[in-house]
Amino acid sequence: MGHTAIPQDTGGGLTATEHRLANGLRVVLSEDHLTPVAAVCLWYDVGSRHEVAGRTGLAHLFEHLMFQGSAQVSGSGHFELVQGAGGSLNGTTSFERTNYFETMPAHQLELALWLEADRMGTLLTALDQESLDNQRDVVKNERRQRYDNVPYGTAFERLAAMVYPSGHPYHHLPIGSMADLDAASLTDAQDFFRTYYAPNNAVLAVVGDIDPDQTLTWIEKYFGTIPSHDGKRPPRDGALPPVLGRQLREVVHEEVPARALMAAYRLPHDGTREADAADLALTALGGGESSRLHNRLVRRDRTAVAAGFGLLRLAGAPSLGWLDVKTSADAAIEDIEAAVDEELARFAEEGPTPDEMERAQAQLEREWLDRLATVGGRADELCKYAVLFGDPQLAWTGVRRVLEVTPEEVREVAAARLRPDNRAVLVYEPLDEQDAAADADEVSTEQTERDGEGSEQ
């Protein structure tokens, strides 16, 4: 094994060492003997941003295929072995990565490592047309249940498509389209696996009640013989102007329980101080029942039953700030939108109050501590910072970076980005009974430009 261990002292006693196998697999280990459990987390540097037009959804489809068997483990054996050993497991797909993870009793760590290595090295021996068709149907049903057949289910998909223009790598969500899922062939799936599921395109983190030397021995034994692959295509450039330059607007008539106003804003890339400032701004404005927009719309004006603002952090493209307001009774969208604009303008002019700043920082600190409180959360954070930013040690300093941001920096990012000419607006209007009977799927769209002297390049 060729590796260099790099220990680093951190606040709270959390440390990690970094290693690299000869085939390129990056390994991060972190000891924690508080409880007799160990977490295994494997991040592959592949997400929906790596997909091409006509083949969307492959990254997410492969998340499912990875649980369909490998050379030594047939069918759903991965689930059965982990759960039978008292562990838990899952996998997720995002724009920027796909991850797989197990939390095991410490004495079952070797089993989890063997399972992950077996499917990384031998999945293609078990991947056949039957498995592909089976999981394609599962993913299509997931799309129906989570997106197409639930109220407001396609809202985020619509907003992302407006904020990230056609042809942009973040224009489509990881779930993919029905047509592209149908079009995916066995050859497409095999090529996708060879390209992206290689050890030199992955980071493995093991956290918990571990013996580092023994753990490295197991990792070398099971992963060390898997060949690297040099054919990976880099993701397409996700760079965009910092602001849209105009307001985009779409009105959707669907069977929803209430009117809704949603909006998405382009915000700074993750990993920057400006992104931390934006996170604090959105938390102060819409992060919970003490936030400014909740107080204005729900408590004071009583025009909404819920009002929230959140940040989707992205490293390879502008992050996305998402406003979500559900109306109360017959409240007019125009009144709610005017109130939102008034609060955003005031925030951009005055910045957060001392109380708002303290609450926002405390909230983000608590969320950070929650992520690091479990061995599984810690392993995931170490993988994240290794894959997206090249340095897993950044996982320990996230809260410090948030606490260093000043109120003026929060005000500045709000003034620069939370503007009418930097948002996509989505308005949901419920169908009345006559419309619903005539056509439950009627959708009308309206594109407008406001404040819009500029347009996106």
Catalytic residues: 63
* H-only helix segments in 374-422: 375-389, 398-404, 407-417
For 151, phi then psi, to 5°, come to -60, 135
d(CA 132, CA 185): 8
Coil, helix or strand at residue 105? strand
Coil, helix or strand at residue 215? helix
d(CA 294, CA 301): 10
* 278 contacts: CB under 8 Å, gap ≥ 6: 267, 268, 311, 319, 321, 413, 414, 417
Residues comprising the chain, all counted = 457
d(CA 233, CA 150): 36
Task: Decide: 431 and 254 in contact? Cβ < 8 Å.
Answer: yes
For residue 2, the 8-state DSSP code is -
Q: How many CA atoms, within 13 angstroms, populate the side-chain half-sphere of residue 196?
A: 29
Residue tagged 């030594």 (tokens): 72
- Residue 179: burial class (beta carbons within 10 Å; 0-12, 13-18, 19+): exposed
- Give the Å distances, CA to CA, from 209 to 14, 35, 103, 254: 13, 7, 11, 51
Coil, helix or strand at residue 72? coil
The strand pair at 202-208 and 26-31 is best described as: parallel
For residue 69, the 8-state DSSP code is B
Task: Decide: 270 and 349 in contact? Cβ < 8 Å.
Answer: no
Residue 93 pairs with which residues in a beta bridge?
98
Q: DSSP of 308-332, one letter per residue?
A: EEEEE--SSS-EEEEEEEEE-TT--
d(CA 123, CA 265): 40
* 194 contacts: CB under 8 Å, gap ≥ 6: 124, 229, 231
> What is the separation, in whole angstroms, between the first and last Cα of the chain?
48
Amino acid type, 257: P
